[in-house]
Structure 1
Amino acid sequence: MVPGSDVATEAVGLRTHPLTSVVQGALWAAAASVGLISSIFTGDGWGDMNALLSLAISLVGGLVLGMGFGFLTWRFTRYVIDGTELRINSGIITKASRRIPYERIQSVDIAEPLVARIFGLAELRIEMAGGKDSRTSLRFLSLADARDLRRVLLARAHGTSPDDAPADEQRSIITVVSPERVMIGTVLSLDFLFAAVGSIALIVGAIWFGQFVVALGGIIPLGTWLAQIIAKRILQQWDFTLSRGDRGLRIERGLLSRTSQTIPYARVQGIAIKEPFVWRRFGWLRLEVDVAGYASHGDDEGVDSSSILLPIADRALADAVIAELIPGFATDVPRTAAPRRSRAFAPIGWRYRWVGANERTFVAREGWIERTTSIVPHHKTQSVELRQGPLQRRRRLATVEVHTPQGPVDADGRNLDADEARAVVLAQLARARAARG
Structure 2
Amino acid sequence: MNCGTIFPEWQVWRKKMSEPKRLHPIAVLLNIIKSIKELVIPFLLVVVIPGKNEGIPGWIQPLVISIIILFIIGNAFLQWVRFTYRIEDGEFRIESGVFVRKKRYIKFDRIHSIDISEGIIQRIFSLVKLNIETAGGSQADAVLSAISKSDAGRINAFISEGKNANNPFDKDKDEVADNEYAAKSSSVFKQTLPQLFVMAATSGAVGVFLSGAIAFISQFDEMIPFERIFKDYEDFIEMGTIILTVFALLALLVVYVLATLSMVIKYASFTVIKTDEEIVISRGLLEKRQLTIPIHKIQGIRIMENLIRKPLGLATVYIEYAGGSMEDKESLSIMLFPLIRKRHLHEKILEILPVYETASEMTPIPKRALSRYVFRKFLYFIPIIGALIWFFRPWGYLSLLLVPLAIFWAYMQYRDAGWSIEGNLLLLSSRFFSKQTLIMHRSRIQSITYKKSWFQNRKELATISASIKSGITSRVGMVADVEEKDCLIIKSWYLPKKAVDSQ
Q: TM-score range by the shorter chain?
A: 0.7 to 0.9
Distance 1:365 1:385 in 2: 15
Change in CA separation of 1:298 and 1:133 when aligned onto 2, cut-off 3 Å: closer
Partner of 2:487: 421
Instruction: Indicate whether 1:375 and 2:439 are aligned.
Output: yes
SS in structure 2 of the partner of residue 251 of structure 1: strand
In 2, the alpha carbon distance for the partners of 1:312 and 1:131 equals 29
Q: Does the CA-based 8 Å contact 2:364-2:418 persist in structure 1?
A: yes
Answer whether contact 1:4 1:80 (CA < 8 A) is retained: no
Instruction: Give 5+ residue unaligned stretches, structure 1.
Output: 45-55, 200-204
2:27 alignment partner in structure 1: 20
Are positions 1:400 and 2:480 aligned together?
A: no
2:268 is aligned to 238
Q: TM-score, normalised by structure 2?
A: 0.68
The answer to whether structure 1 residue 166 and structure 2 residue 180 are counterparts is: yes
1:17 aligned partner, one-letter code: H
> Any conservation in 2 of the 1:384–1:425 contact (CA below 8 Å)?
yes
CA–CA distance in 2 between the matches of 1:253 and 1:135?
22
Q: Percent identity?
A: 20
Q: Supply the AA of the counterpart residue of 1:249.
A: I
* Deviation of 1:410 (Å): 3.7
- Residue aligning to 2:496: 430
Number of residue-to-residue matches in the alignment: 406
Structure 1 position 128 matched with structure 2 position 192 = no
Work out which of the residue numbers 285, 288, 307 in structure 1 matches 2:334: 307
CA shift, 1:251, in A, is: 0.8
Alignment partner of 1:327 is 2:355: yes
Structure 1 residues 128-182: Cα deviation after superposition (integer angstroms, max 9, x where no partner):
2465566322222122211121111111111145655434744321122123321
SS at match of 1:15: coil
Aligned counterpart, 2:97: 91
| Equivalent residue, structure 1, for 2:83 | 77
Report the residue type matching 1:96 in the other structure.
K
| Cα distance in structure 1, aligned partners of 2:257 and 2:64 | 23
Specify the alignment match of 2:407 in structure 1.
none
Asked if structure 1 preserves the Cα contact closer than 8 Å seen for 2:25 and 2:80, the reply is: yes
When Rg is computed on C-alpha atoms for both structures, the one with the higher figure is: 2
Q: Within 5 Å, which residues of 2 pair with 1:171-182?
A: 171-182=185-196
Q: Distance in 2 between matches of 1:80 and 1:224?
A: 48
User: Could you tell me how far 1:101 is from its partner in structure 2?
Assistant: 1.2
Q: Is the contact made by 2:365 and 2:482 (CA closer than 8 Å) also made in structure 1?
A: yes
**Would the alpha carbon gap of residues 309 and 432 (structure 1) be closer, same or farther in structure 2, given more than 3 Å must change?**
farther
Letter in 2 for 1:376: M
CA distance in 1, matches of 2:118, 2:283: 10
Deviation at 1:429, TM superposition (A): 2.6
Separation in structure 2 between the aligned mates of residue 245 and residue 58 of structure 1, nearest angstrom: 54
For 1:273 and 1:108, the matched residues in 2 are separated by 24
Task: Give the drift of 1:30.
Answer: 5.4
Higher helix share: 2
1:119-268 alignment runs, 5 A limit: 119-129=125-135, 135-159=141-165, 160=168, 161=171, 165-167=179-181, 169-190=183-204, 192=206, 208-209=237-238, 230=260, 233-268=263-298
Letter in 1 for 2:470: Q
Answer whether contact 1:286 1:312 (CA < 8 A) is retained: yes
Deviations 1:59-88 (A, max 9, x none): 998875544322211111111211221111
TM-score (norm 1): 0.77
2:287 is matched by which residue type in structure 1? Answer: S
Q: Secondary structure at the match of 1:87?
A: strand
Deviations 1:313-335 (A, max 9, x none): 11244222322214363242462
Given that residues 292 and 405 in structure 1 are in contact (C-alpha distance below 8 angstroms), is that contact kept between their aligned partners in structure 2? yes
Cα distance, 1:269 vs structure 2: 0.8
Retained in 2: the 8 A contact 1:251–1:261? yes
- Residues 26 and 115 in structure 1, CA contact (< 8 A), matched pair in contact too: no
Residue 239 of structure 1 contacts residue 255 of structure 1 at CA under 8 Å; is this kept in 2? yes
Task: Report the 3-state secondary structure (helix = DSSP H, G, I; strand = E; otherwise coil) of the residue aligned with 2:92.
Answer: strand
Which residue number corresponds to residue 102 of structure 1?
108
Secondary structure at the counterpart of residue 440 of structure 2: strand
Please give the alpha-carbon distance, in whole angstroms, between the structure 1 residues aligned to 2:256 and 2:35: 25
1:132/1:374 CA distance change after superposition, 3 Å: same
Counterpart-to-counterpart distance in 1, 2:342 and 2:35: 44
Aligned AA for 2:346?
D
CA RMSD of aligned residues (A): 4.2
2: CA distance, partners of 1:226 / 1:139: 33
Is the CA contact (8 Å cut-off) linking 1:331 and 1:363 kept in structure 2?
Answer: no
Which residue identity is paired with 1:140?
A: A
Pairwise CA distance, 1:377: 1.3
Q: Once the 2 structures are TM-superposed, how far is the Cα of residue 271 of structure 1 from its aligned partner?
A: 0.7
Instruction: Please say if residues 25 and 64 of structure 1, whose CA atoms lie closer than 8 Å, have aligned partners that are also in contact.
Output: no
Instruction: Establish whether residue 353 from structure 1 lines up as the match of residue 427 from structure 2.
Output: no
Give the Å deviation of 1:32: 5.2
Q: Which has the higher contact order (CA 8 A, sep 6+)?
A: 2
Task: Show CA shifts across 1:169-217 (max 9, x none).
Answer: 4432112212332122222345638988xx9xxxxx9964589xx99xx
Aligned-partner Cα distance in 1 for 2:74–2:261? 30
| 8 A contact 1:28–1:63 mirrored in 2 | no
Unpaired stretches in structure 2, ≥5 consecutive residues: 1-8, 51-61, 214-232, 378-409
Instruction: Please give the secondary structure, in 2, of the residue aligned with 1:256.
Output: coil
Question: Does the aligned pair in 2 maintain the 1:356–1:364 contact within 8 Å?
Answer: yes
Does the 8 Å contact 1:338/1:417 carry over to 2? Answer: yes
User: 1:120: how far off?
Assistant: 2.2
Could you tell me which residue of structure 1 aligns to residue 428 of structure 2? 364
